[in-house]
Copies of this chain bind each other. A is one copy, B any other.
Amino acid sequence: MSLPHAILTALLEKPSSGLELTRRFDMSIGYFWSATHQQIYRELGKLEQAGFIRALPQDVPARGQKREYEVLAGGRAELASWVGRAEDPKPLRDAFALRLRAAAMVGTGELLGEVERHLSLHRGQLATYREIEQRDFGHLGAERRGGREERLQHLVLRAGIEMERFWVGWLEEAAVELRELDA
């Protein structure tokens, strides 16, 4: 049940329409919780119904017309309560590890090409994160002071960076193993 909370967070950062949210999910929030526009519109409807958000008054509710939403007090309270709620980490699901395990049984086939393709995707993502870090947090000194908002957002970004670093490192190892096995 994280999508509604992702949307509430995004709307608190900046009131937006469905399409604007979709675009921001493709960029920043979406790096940790992706969503399509269909999901977002549906969820916006539910959140409005629940009284957590409302369309800005000036917006006429017509089809094809932009509707901007803002978070209401109830929505903010719900989000604040969710932040500290006990919720276990979801068991990891990774298809690539699975493929290697399958390769252990049926042979590596064309797997090396896939490893290299994923490697370059992850390298690209890592580079993107680093650029964002430079742009948004590059002005901070080594001790990384800053306000609560800035520090927490940087911490989240560092999670993305470390995660991609993990992938790049592990996939490089996998490539070495596969080349040795093919030899």
Residues of A that sit less than 8 Å from B by CB: 2, 5-6, 8-9, 12-13, 29-34, 76, 79-111, 113-114, 117-118, 121-122, 148-149, 151-153, 155-156, 158-160, 162-163, 166-167, 169-170, 173-174, 177, 181
Contact = CB atoms under 8 A, between A and B. Distances in A.
A54 B131 CA distance: 52
Contact of A96 (B89, B93, B114): B89
Q: Specify the main secondary structure of chain A where it touches its partner.
A: helix
Q: How many copies of this chain are found per oligomer?
A: 2
B166 A104 contact: no
A76 to B, nearest CB: 6
A101 B174 contact: no
Nearest to A108: B83
Contacts of A155: 100, 173-174, 177
13 contacts: A5-B102, A9-B102, A13-B105, A32-B94, A32-B97, A84-B109, A84-B111, A88-B121, A89-B95, A101-B153, A104-B149, A148-B181, A162-B169
A42 to B, nearest CB: 18
Contacts of A152: 100-101, 103-104, 108, 177, 181
B92 A32 contact: yes
Contacts of A80: 106-107, 109
B177 A92 contact: no
Nearest to A152: B104
Contacts of A12: 105-106
A91 B2 contact: no
A40 to B, nearest CB: 15
Contacts of A102: 5, 8-9, 79, 82-83
Contact of A118 (B89, B104, B158): B89
Contacts of A118: 89
